Chain A
Amino acid sequence: MQNLIQFLIRFSAFFLFVALEVVCFILIVRYNDGQREIFLNSSNMVSARVNEWYDGMVEYSNLRAYADSLAIDNARLKSALYNNSNYLELEEKEVLDTVYRQKFHTIRAQVINNSVTSRNNALTIDRGSKDGIRKGMGVVGNEGIIGVVRAVQPSFSSVLSILHSASRISVALRRSHYFGTLVWNGFHPGKMSMEAVPKHADIRVGDTIETSGYSHIFPKGVMVGTVDTFWIEGGSNFFTISVSIVNDMSNLNHVYVVQNLMRPSLDSLEQPVLYE
């Protein structure tokens, strides 16, 4: 017994090392489940506050660039609005407004923490449950898509970036309407792959890739990127498409959280079918 105790004391550092490493690996593996990371993710109040404070300082020096980008965005929206009103005047008066029930609602938010260099990236935005944000909503930028809300606190939310190993976005080719899954293989933040596109699909280099709208997270037709190259993996029946994404994930400031107002009814329709 005494020998055992002496042995334990003698190698206490080694045992502590093993114990701490085990703790670390439990944390890593639990995190990969993607469910229980809330207690340690950066929505965590302390790091979110520190990041917000720092961003507040840095943002001031970048005001001009932000103002410019917002002005450009405004101009684009205005032109869309004017074109639209022109078009509406031509429409027949009999069409009832209720035909165009609003399907999507957007909430403006600001990115206060972001990463692109790890294998699993996430970002934090300064809006939370009290601004109407719920788990599972999509996040888009001025151009392109950013990710999906994975955890919500009263005033902050954590967003699973599209540059994350667990991210799977349903996308489609704009020209030929074939759909597939957008994933990230972890090497370059501007390159993603679209997988599971059937072998007979008509694809050309430069084709636009947009969201398919099948997951009810993003609206249909948001531009995601363009086809770079495509090939068939040996032994596979599906194309893999290398996609250049349209937005720069390493330079995000204002983003928009998209709420699908019809999602509850769509889910209640599709959920029972899934379990049949």
Chain B
Amino acid sequence: MNSLWTKNLIRIVVLILLQVLLFKRIYFGWENFNYFAFLVYPLAILLLPVRTPRVPVLFIGFLIGIIVDLFYDSPGVHASACVFLAFIRPYLLKMIEPRGGYPTQDLGPTKRQFGTNWFLIYTAMGLAAHLLVYFSVEVFTFVFFFEILLKVIFSFIVSYICILLYIFLLNPKD
């Protein structure tokens, strides 16, 4: 139990540092086409142990969001997306519950525990939800619906690749 939470804490710190020191600085795009944002820190919320109660997940999500916001100069934007992701996480987990349910002992929803296919679907849904809320809140109006959609799609592709790289390189057990 304890080592599980220590690992999660380290992962949260590492992902936030990666996000604000490395991925924030990547500027990728060309003339009239900068729809790319690299967001990897949602993985920290997605990988919290499966049986974490919902209230702590919400608080952890909010904290992660606020810390990222400090660096992005955008108080509340990342935090609201994180809180939303933390809120829908139990529903995502329920939607793709493996046959026979989740094991009784607490473990992280990782590729190694539940298989590659399961993990790909889980992260894709979580990341897409996070990006959709993030860009909607950032623009703060639905006038630019088409631009928001483009940003979500292209950022999803690059962020998803980064997240998969992280997972396939480190392949954490929990």
Query: Is this pair of chains taken from one and the same complex?
Result: yes
| A interface residue numbers (CB < 8 A to B) | 12-14, 16-17, 20-21, 23-28, 30-32, 37, 40-42, 44, 46-47, 50-51, 54, 113, 115-122, 158, 187-191, 250
A191, closest chain B residue (CB): B32
Q: Are A21 and B83 in contact (CB under 8 A)?
A: yes
Kindly list chain A residues whose C-beta atoms are within 8 Å of the C-beta of B147: 187
Q: What sequence of 0s and 1s flags, for each residue 48-78 of chain B, a beta carbon within 8 Å of any chain A beta carbon?
A: 0000001100110010010001111111110
B139 CB–A CB distance under 8 Å: yes
CB of A253 to closest CB in B, whole Å: 13
Q: Are B80 and A117 in contact (CB under 8 A)?
A: no
> How many A-B residue pairs lie within 8 Å, measured between CB atoms?
103
A121, closest chain B residue (CB): B73
Cα(A190)–Cα(B76), bound, Å: 27
CB of A16 to closest CB in B, whole Å: 5
B138 CB–A CB distance under 8 Å: yes
Q: Are A118 and B69 in contact (CB under 8 A)?
A: no
Q: Are B76 and A54 in contact (CB under 8 A)?
A: no
Cα(A14)–Cα(B83), bound, Å: 11
A44, closest chain B residue (CB): B70
The one of B27, B74, B76 in contact with A116, judged by C-beta atoms closer than 8 angstroms, is B27
| B residues 70-117 touching A (CB-CB < 8 Å) | 70-77, 79-80, 83-84, 86-87, 90
Instruction: Bin the interface of chain B by size.
Output: 35 or more
Known contacts A41-B75, A118-B72, then 14 further A-B pairs from the complex at CB < 8 Å, ordered by chain A residue: A17-B58, A20-B62, A21-B84, A23-B62, A24-B76, A28-B74, A28-B77, A40-B70, A47-B71, A115-B24, A117-B34, A118-B73, A121-B73, A189-B27
Q: Are A115 and B77 in contact (CB under 8 A)?
A: no
Q: Are B76 and A25 in contact (CB under 8 A)?
A: yes
Q: Are B70 and A27 in contact (CB under 8 A)?
A: no
Q: Are B79 and A42 in contact (CB under 8 A)?
A: no
Kindly list chain B residues whose C-beta atoms are within 8 Å of the C-beta of A26: 76
CB of A114 to closest CB in B, whole Å: 8
Specify which of B31, B36, B71 lies most central, judged by the most chain A CB atoms within 10 Å of its CB. Answer: B71
CB of B68 to closest CB in A, whole Å: 10
Q: Are B34 and A24 in contact (CB under 8 A)?
A: no
Kindly list chain A residues whose C-beta atoms are within 8 Å of the C-beta of B24: 115
Q: Are A24 and B71 in contact (CB under 8 A)?
A: no
Q: Are B138 and A119 in contact (CB under 8 A)?
A: yes
Q: Are A37 and B75 in contact (CB under 8 A)?
A: yes
Kindly list chain B residues whose C-beta atoms are within 8 Å of the C-beta of A16: 55, 58-59
Kindly list chain B residues whose C-beta atoms are within 8 Å of the C-beta of A28: 74-77, 80, 137, 140
B32, closest chain A residue (CB): A188
Q: Are A117 and B27 in contact (CB under 8 A)?
A: yes
Contact sample, A vs B, 24 pairs, CB 8 Å cutoff: A13-B55, A17-B86, A20-B58, A23-B62, A24-B62, A24-B65, A24-B76, A27-B69, A28-B76, A31-B74, A37-B75, A40-B69, A40-B70, A46-B70, A50-B21, A113-B71, A116-B27, A118-B73, A120-B73, A188-B31, A188-B34, A190-B31, A191-B32, A250-B27
CB of A70 to closest CB in B, whole Å: 22
| B residues 35-55 touching A (CB-CB < 8 Å) | 36-37, 54-55
CB of B167 to closest CB in A, whole Å: 25
Q: A41 and B76 in contact (CB under 8 A), knowing A16-B55, A116-B27?
A: no
Q: Are A47 and B27 in contact (CB under 8 A)?
A: no
Cα(A118)–Cα(B39), bound, Å: 13
The one of A12, A46, A54 in contact with B55, judged by C-beta atoms closer than 8 angstroms, is A12
The one of B21, B32, B65, B87 in contact with A17, judged by C-beta atoms closer than 8 angstroms, is B87
Q: Are B80 and A118 in contact (CB under 8 A)?
A: no
CB of A247 to closest CB in B, whole Å: 14
